[in-house]
C-alpha cells in the first residue's frame, strides 16, 4: 500500500484535504475482478519496460494491493499513479480508457508521452493530473459534467488548444485548475474568475480579451497566474476582493493601466509580477506608507 502519491510537497495540502483518504489508504484491499481490470489496462498501454518502475512489476501472482502505483482502501482500488512511466501512444476512448473501477478517485498520469484527446473520466474522480504529456485536442465542450467531484485538475504542459469551455465552471468543487503551458485561445470565461478556486494557472497560452472583472467577495484565490498570454485592457478592480492572494503573476501580457493601488488590500501577497506590461504613472500609492506587508518579490521589469 502506497501513500507516496501524496509525497511531493505540492500535494501536501491536498493530502490534508483528503485526510480521511490518506489514513484509509494505509489498510486496503484490491479485489479479484479489479486485479484483472488492472492487468487488462497494463496490456493495452504502450510503455518502455526499461524505464517503467511500476507497471513493469504488476504481476498476477502478487495481490494487486501491493502493486506500485495502485492505492486501495476497504472499498478496493481508489487511486492509480502511473506518473513518469514512459507510457506513449493514445488511450482508447471508444471504451472508457481507464479501468471501470467504481471508486477510482485519483488518476495521476503526469509525465508520460500520452497523445490524442483527453481521456474520458468517471464522474467520481477527485484528483486528475494529466500534465506533462503530449495530449493535443480541444477540451470537450461539456467538460464540467465530467468533473462534478473534482478538486484538482491539471492539463499543464500539453498541446491542448481551442477555447476553455464555460462548462468547466460547473465543476463547483474545483480548488486547483492548472491549464498552463498549452495553446488555449479565446477569452477567459467570465464565470471562471468567480469560481471558488484556490489556484488558477493559465500561464503560457494564447488567451485574448481582458481578465474578467468577476472576482467575487468570496474570492478564495491564493495563486492567480496569467503570465504570457495575449490579454489586454485594464486589471479588473474586483481583484481587490481576492484578499487571500499570495501569488499574482500578470507579467508578459498587454495590460495597460496605472499602478494597481487597490491591490494594497491584498495583505497576504508574497509575489507580485507585473513585468512587461504597459503600466504607467508613479509606482506606489498615495496615502499609504507600506504596500503589502508580506511582499517578498515585486517584479516590475520591462522586456
Ligand X SMILES: *[C@@H]1O[C@H](CO)[C@@H](O)[C@H](O)[C@H]1NC(C)=O
If binding is defined by CB under 6 A, does position 291 make contact with ligand X? Answer: no
Binding residue for ligand X (CB under 6 A) from 71, 112, 154, 157?
A: 157
| Strands of the 161-162 sheet, one edge to the other | 161-162, 183-187, 206-209, 230-233, 254-258, 278-280
Q: To the nearest whole angstrom, how small is the minimum distance from the Cβ of residue 126 to ligand X?
A: 18
Note whether 218 and 196 are within 8 A (CB): yes
Binding string, 193-222, against ligand X, x = CB under 6 A?
Answer: -----------------------xx-----
Cα separation, 113 vs 191, whole angstroms: 32
- For 277, the grid coordinates are 506590461
DSSP 3-state assignment of 96?
coil
- For 64, the grid coordinates are 494487486
Which residue do the cell numbers 506608507 mark? 289
If binding is defined by CB under 6 A, does position 289 make contact with ligand X? Answer: yes
Binding string, 69-88, against ligand X, x = CB under 6 A?
Answer: ---------------x-x--
Q: How many residues does the chain have?
A: 303
Binding residue for ligand X (CB under 6 A) from 71, 126, 205, 238?
A: 238
If binding is defined by CB under 6 A, does position 163 make contact with ligand X? Answer: no
Pairing of strands 87-90, 46-47: antiparallel
Binding residue for ligand X (CB under 6 A) from 113, 137, 138, 206?
A: 113
- For 182, the grid coordinates are 498549452
Q: How far is CA 119 from CA 104, 137, 181, 183, 267, in A?
A: 14, 11, 19, 18, 40
Interacting stretch for ligand X, rule CB under 6 A, among 24-32, 185-193, 251-259, 270-278? 24-32
Note whether 245 and 222 are within 8 A (CB): yes
Q: To the nearest whole angstrom, how small is the minimum distance from the Cβ of residue 138 to ligand X?
A: 14
Binding residue for ligand X (CB under 6 A) from 31, 187, 285, 298?
A: 31
Positions touching ligand X (CB under 6 A) are 29-32, 35, 51, 63-65, 84, 86, 96, 100, 102, 113, 115, 134, 136, 157-159, 181, 216-217, 237-238, 240-241, 262, 265, 289
Amino acid at each position: 500500500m502506497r501513500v507516496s502519491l501524496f509525497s511531493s510537497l505540492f500535494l501536501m495540502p491536498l493530502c490534508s484535504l483528503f485526510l480521511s483518504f490518506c489514513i484509509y489508504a494505509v489498510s486496503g484491499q484490491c479485489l479479484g475482478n479489479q486485479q484483472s481490470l488492472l492487468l487488462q489496462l497494463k496490456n493495452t498501454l504502450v510503455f518502455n519496460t526499461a524505464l517503467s518502475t511500476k507497471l513493469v512489476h504488476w504481476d498476477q501472482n502478487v495481490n494487486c494491493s501491493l502493486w506500485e502505483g495502485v492505492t486501495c482502501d476497504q472499498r478496493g482500488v481508489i487511486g492509480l499513479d502511473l506518473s513518469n512511466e514512459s507510457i506513449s501512444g493514445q488511450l482508447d476512448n471508444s471504451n472508457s480508457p481507464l479501468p471501470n473501477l467504481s471508486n477510482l478517485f485519483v488518476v495521476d498520469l503526469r509525465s508520460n508521452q500520452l497523445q490524442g484527446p483527453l481521456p474520458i473520466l468517471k464522474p467520481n474522480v477527485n484528483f486528475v493530473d494529466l500534465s506533462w504529456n503530449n495530449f493535443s485536442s480541444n477540451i470537450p465542450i461539456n467538460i464540467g459534467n465530467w468533473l462534478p467531484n473534482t478538486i484538482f485538475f491539471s492539463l499543464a504542459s500539453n498541446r491542448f488548444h481551442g477555447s476553455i469551455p464555460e462548462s468547466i465552471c460547473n465543476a463547483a468543487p474545483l480548488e486547483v485548475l492548472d491549464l498552463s503551458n498549452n495553446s488555449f485561445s479565446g477569452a477567459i470565461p467570465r464565470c471562471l474568475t468567480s469560481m471558488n478556486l484556490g489556484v488558477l494557472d493559465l500561464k503560457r497560452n494564447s488567451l485574448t480579451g481582458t481578465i474578467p472583472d468577476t472576482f467575487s467577495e468570496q474570492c478564495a484565490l491564493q495563486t492567480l497566474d496569467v503570465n504570457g498570454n495575449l490579454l489586454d485592457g485594464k486589471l479588473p478592480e474586483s481583484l481587490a476582493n481576492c484578499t487571500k492572494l499570495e501569488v499574482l503573476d500578470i507579467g508578459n501580457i498587454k495590460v495597460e493601466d496605472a499602478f494597481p493601488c487597490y491591490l494594497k488590500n491584498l495583505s497576504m501577497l508574497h509575489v507580485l509580477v507585473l513585468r512587461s506590461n504597459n503600466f504607467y504613472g508613479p509606482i506606489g500609492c498615495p496615502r499609504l506608507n507600506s504596500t503589502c506587508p508580506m511582499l517578498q518579490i515585486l517584479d516590475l521589469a520591462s522586456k
